[in-house]
Structure 1
Amino acid sequence: MTRNLRTIGFDADDTLWHNERFFQLTQERFAALLRDHAEREHLEQRLIAAERRNIGHYGFGVKGFVLSMIETAVEVTDGKVPGTVVAALLDAGREMLAHPIELLPHARDAIEALAGSHHLVLITKGDLLHQERKLAQSGLGDLFDHVEIVSDKTPSVYARIFHPLPGGVRAAMMVGNSMKSDVCPAIEAGGWGVFVPHDLQWDLEHAEPPDSPRYRAIDDLGGLPTLVGDIG
């Protein structure tokens, strides 16, 4: 009998381990450093605008975030940002790159439960070295059949990754906390998409749920093995 699911892709940041909270803590530090130059809400709006402009240049991850903070600091101070502020932002970035990995509830159990029966692939975007370090520290690396670190997650990227894997795209599922990056493009490529919410989400990752029979949502990864079994 042909199985409906043979390959399962997992997002990494805020799906398997905490990530966004470190960005938000650094953003609070950023607001404190520039409180004499801009109100917090205005500063956040300027920073989001800078991040949106810079994704195509710097990609996703800590390094692009730090560069966008520095750019925003230059803008709101009319080019007079103190060197001490720039140094503090660089220090904050280094701290983010070194933060310890803390797995989210049920992450290891879900992956171990599916590793023997399905082809597992980690699909994450961001800085190559940083993502490789996080995966190594997570202790989950040996459970994946392979890893894809990509510059962005689009339908064509998912099609490229899933096509040569067992069952192809139609028998593949992507699991993640981003409707925009993990769920919608995977479904558009022809696979399944499973949304696992996280308390924190980057503003640029927001999207509405897709109207598709291949869309599912679970409260946490503890429900994933049962969902996979139900789909077959």
Structure 2
Amino acid sequence: MIPNVLTVAGSDSGGGAGIQADLKTMLALGVHGMSVVTAVTAQNSLGVQGAWELPVEAVRAQYRSVVDDIGVQAVKTGMLASAELVEAVAELIAETDAPAVIDPVGVSKHGDALLAASALDSVRTKLLPVATVATPNLDEVAQITGVRVASEGEMRQAAAAVLAYGPRWALIKGGHLPGDAVDLLTDGSEEHWLRAPRHDNRHTHGTGCTLASAIASQLAKGQPVPEAVAAAKEYVTGAVAAGFALGGGIGPVDHGWRFRAGPER
């Protein structure tokens, strides 16, 4: 049986991030992707021109429809714009016997806000506690915990602050720091530092969504968290290296890079 992975996230009309990136990632990694749309955005390579969240009852109905009939081996969350959506999705995940990868999306690659300030407390107290892995970038760490990271050495403090809210594992993404792309995965007792060369490529739209979906896909296939995150990091590094221009702004990573890299990949 092909594992089933469910993304609960917003739609990116430009196809580089959100639900679209999640489903492409899942296909590339050999799992069956399913979706719960939480919001619709008007979005392209230049930014987000508009966003409309779906009613909580529509989100809940989509989730129950999929989980009750098909079942899931992993869940991934992305854009949850309001406190009401955050709390409803957290409640649904708590009732689901599957690992959950929580990407606490706060802003888009272009700096557009995708989470209401009033929803932050719900992220801290409702969503993070149900996470198997939480995957904040440094801006999201600051938004959620108040901890600002300016160097690799400060990533431990950021991880501790995130873990204090209850996820089993925290993956602190250090992509905004200079030098190599360094991430820290920890459960508070063991640490895994993941390093990759920084590619000279500005077409990185969708990296966060892609990484979280890749982790969820690997977890659904039965990998332990450290191995799932390492495999996801390797996939995303290749996707960033193959990122391509699209429109007049920031292009997307290439979710299908392995298909074009030859059978040895």
Q: State the TM bucket, normalised to the shorter chain.
A: 0.3 to 0.5
The TM-score with structure 1 as length reference comes to 0.34
Instruction: Pick the structure with greater CA Rg.
Output: 1
**RCO greater where, 1 or 2, for CA within 8 Å and sep 6 or more?**
1
The TM-score with structure 2 as length reference comes to 0.31
Higher helix share: 1
